[in-house]
Amino acid sequence: MREVTHFIGGQKVVGTSGRFSDIYDPNVGEVQARVALATEAEVSAAVENAKAALPMWAATNPQRRARVMFEFKRLLEANMDELAELLSSEHGKVVADSRGDVQRGIDVVEFACGIPHLQKGEYTEGAGPGIDVYSMRQPLGVVAGITPFNFPAMIPCWMFAVAIACGNTFILKPSEKDPSVPLRMVELFMEAGAPEGVLNMVNGDKTAVDAILTHPDIKAVSFVGSSDIAQYVYATGTAHGKRVQAMGGAKNHGIILPDANMDQAVKDIVGAAYGSAGERCMALPVAVTVGQKTGDEFVERMLDAARGLKVGVSIDAEAHYGPVVSAAHKAKVESYIQMGVDEGADLKLDGRGHTLQGHENGYFIGPSLFDHVKPGMQSYEEEIFGPVLQVVRAESLEEAAALPSNHQYGNGVAIFTSNGRAAREFASQVNVGMVGINVPIPVPVSYHTFGGWKRSAFGDTNQHGPEGVRFWTKIKTVTSRWPEGDIGDQAFIIPTMG
């Protein structure tokens, strides 16, 4: 059976723990590989290799670091088909969606190619008599990233591309559910010219996570996953003196006003709600309709659109989405559907029990749609992370806007309207980190920054973009003076800038 290894010190390393996690093919529900789960000693070995590589890499000028990023970008593009097919085989998303996952990662690598400019500091000439002041952005040291299963190409690039471009060395701990693409990307990064030890990868579970969070030589940790784990990562990492950004769960809302272009709203929301089987932290699982007429029309048209979706295997070019990632996750999503029924929501479309001929053991769930969902229902308050759309009815924009603002999650929100003033005020006032105006999935481009509010994010710095450069660097400010001749006792006086 194929075994996914660690990658430490520039080479693949077979795990020694004796503990393994199975990697499934979600299309057929069968084990296709296994991955070794790291020990604390293996994490420490990765850290030691990263420490050894750090002085040379941190001293490498940013232009040369950028050249590695340019070559890495080229290699990712050249290997797009291989990466997308490998990703689909372990995650379950259709190949077209997997290509988008890889492309989003490439976009961040492309942003990181600009590090000679991005890492520049500031300079003030003549801040005082003969005194200049300047700042430098310097790498933190050995840093780490812990990434989720749902975007095994994009999210690692969010982290290590920017961190390494800034001069840090990196430990990547990907999800044990689909680690093959991260491993292949690490190999390509080394092929791009990165020195041994600059990027290391350890696979594992909580043992590896805790080893990363408590290791004294790891200076910063970036995390994406569920909110409960994000809160744990943030609390544990900061308690051990680390800089931490920890992105959590989401329950994104899409508000449809009576003046919205209903054709566009339905088309956008059906993709945002059901694409990638809903396994996206920027999916749109809640539609909030304003006014009875709007709600009735939206539900009727959304039902037609959802019934027209094709659920298929990952390699089916005509499928809109594939299976969810695991049997356990399928059971969890289906339990939330039953929970919604028990809570009194109106189940208009039930995706449970969906099977494909020849793939009866695959982890497929058909599109599900609830109407008349109410705030306070557990199925509304919690993240389902599956192909389930919940419709909440509201009588006014104020009532609708209060729903995402008051929800425990604050990742993303969208509004569909033809009223520019209403959209502008909504974007300014809603208590959510990322806003779409007639855009269903408001994921910022790579040169902006990604991050939610409330229980969707712990820490005060977002992913990638300029915020990413700030997270992965520390600033040093230098005040300099070059006096002429003997200054005598003046050497003991702190200079003023007046």
User: Could you tell me the pLDDT band of residue 485, with boundaries at 50, 70 and 90?
Assistant: low
What's the domain range around 92? 2-248+456-478
In angstroms, the Cα distances linking 180 to 24, 32, 338 are 12, 11, 34
**CA dist., res. 498 & res. 492, Å (int):** 18
Q: The domain that contains 335 carries what CATH number?
A: 3.40.309.10
Annotated catalytic residue, options 113, 157, 166, 281: 281
> Could you tell me if 391 and 282 are in contact, meaning their C-beta atoms sit under 8 angstroms apart?
no
- Tokens 């502008």 label which residue? 424
Examine residue 495 and state whether it is found in any structural domain, yes or no: no
- Would you tell me how many other CB atoms lie within 10 Å of the CB of residue 315? 13
Looking at the structure, tell me whether residues 242 and 283 fall in a common domain: no
Same domain? For 232 and 347 the reply is: no
* Chain centre to alpha carbon of residue 82: 22
The answer to whether residues 142 and 265 belong to one domain is no
pLDDT above 60: residue 333: yes
Question: DSSP H helical segments within 114-219, as ranges?
Answer: 115-118, 154-156, 162-165, 180-191, 206-214
Specify the pLDDT at position 484: 76
**pLDDT tens figures, 434-453:** 999 999 998 999 989 999 99
pLDDT for the residue numbered 305: 98
Q: What is the mean pLDDT of the chain?
A: 95
d(CA 230, CA 334): 24
Say if residue 271 is in the same domain as residue 324: yes
Dihedral angle computed from the Cα positions of residues 118, 173, 232 and 22, in that order, rounded to the nearest 10 degrees: 150
113 carries an active-site annotation: no
Are the C-beta atoms of residues 356 and 363 closer than 8 Å to each other? Answer: no
Same domain? 130 vs 200 = yes
Give the position of tokens 């600009």: 114
CA 476 from chain centre, in angstroms, equals 29
Residue-wise pLDDT tens digits, 406-426: 999 999 999 999 999 999 999
**Are 118 and 64 found together in one domain?**
yes
From CA 369, how far away is CA 387, in angstroms rounded? Answer: 9
Q: What is the pLDDT of residues 30-87, one digit of tens each?
A: 999 999 999 999 999 999 999 999 999 999 999 999 999 999 999 999 999 999 999 9
Q: State the CATH number of the domain containing residue 64.
A: 3.40.605.10
Residue bearing tokens 């050995």: 142
Residue 329 lies in a domain: yes
Its sign, for the CA torsion 215, 216, 222, 228, is positive
d(CA 325, CA 330): 8
198 and 271, same domain (yes or no): no
Helices and strands of the chain, counted as H and E runs: 17, 23
**Is there a domain that residue 281 lies in?**
yes
Dihedral in degrees, nearest 10, Cα atoms 13, 181, 461, 219: 0
Q: Are residues 189 and 276 in the same domain?
A: no
Q: Is the confidence at residue 174, as pLDDT, over 80?
A: yes
Q: Do 36 and 17 form a contact (C-beta atoms < 8 A)?
A: yes
How many domains does the chain fold into?
A: 2
Q: What is the pTM of this model?
A: 0.94
Give domain status of residue 447, yes or no.
Answer: no
CA terminus-to-terminus distance, the chain: 72
Please check whether residue 373 is in contact with residue 407, taking contact to mean a CB–CB distance below 8 angstroms: no
Regarding whether 467 and 340 lie in a shared domain, the answer is no
Last residue of a domain, one of 437, 466, 490: 437
Shared domain check, 382 and 354: yes
One domain for residues 206 and 295:
no
317 within some domain: yes
Specify whether 324 is located in the same domain as 180: no
Question: Is there a domain that residue 493 lies in?
Answer: no
